Amino acid sequence: MPSPFPGMNPYLEHPDFWVDFHNRLVVALADALVPPLLPKYFVDIKRRIYEISDLDWVLFGEAEAAVPDSQNSRTPSNESVTIAERATDRPYRVTLPVLEEVRESYLEVRDAVTKEVVTAIELLSPTNKRGEGRQKYLQKRQKVLGSQTNFIEIDLLRGGEPMPILERSFATPYRILVSRAKTRPTADLYAFGLSDRIPVFPLPLRPEDKEPEIDLQSLLHQVCDRAGYEYFLNYTELELFPTLSEAEFDSIKSVLN
């Protein structure tokens, strides 16, 4: 069964579903691009692997307030009341940052003869939008934007800081950036909200070639259908990351009834 939402399904942003959804959508997009690009171009599924130390903060936001470890707390005698109430005598349970391996899939459209990368396509993950992962991604992004490679950046995540552009902020939570090497620094930005269908956008190639259109909305429905997400997404109990405002929830509540 396809997604019931007209556009992006915000419940797929949950950490329990996002990685699987991300990988499936990247593969579906690659498969859809092959027919219109043959025989001049081929689509390469690439994987970026790196380590960061703040993955839990990226996925789950602010840390909970520190709570004293009740197992280690003790009931003081009258003689030790003053000492026992000192914070240094009661350990707090804390979480240490550890290195987490991050694996992210992205696409490259390459010239079939020269193997040159003509267009890079990124589907953002939570790690791309916060902390160490954001810094690593921005370095890679800037390198592409400084080259002769076309660039598509798809952001289907409401959480995290949007990728930088020089113009004013856009109130809509989702974005698709289409940057043609020949027209930089200008680019086309498709901004859309929860209740909007994902816009159809072009795939930039070499200037002499026709640009095929990408219907990401149809691909999203196909992925949801094949993966069977609707059998496992409990809309009454599943927590949203990030949560919806009252206005945002009102815009989609008809879908949940």
Domain ranges for the chain, please list them.
10-54+97-256
Exposure string for 62-89, b = 16+ CB within 10 A, e = fewer: eeeeeeeeeeeeeeeeeeeeeeeeeeee
> What does pLDDT average to in each consecutive run of 10 residues of the chain (257 residues)?
89 93 98 98 92 54 42 47 60 80 90 98 94 91 97 96 88 95 97 94 97 98 95 86 81 73
- Ramachandran angles phi, psi of 191, nearest 5°: -110, 130
pLDDT of residue 88: 63
Q: Is there a contact between 101 and 51 (Cβ–Cβ < 8 Å)?
A: yes
| pTM across the whole model | 0.82
**What is the DSSP code (8-state) at residue 5?**
S
Residues 6+ apart with CB under 8 A from 163: 124, 129, 138, 141, 153, 155, 175, 177
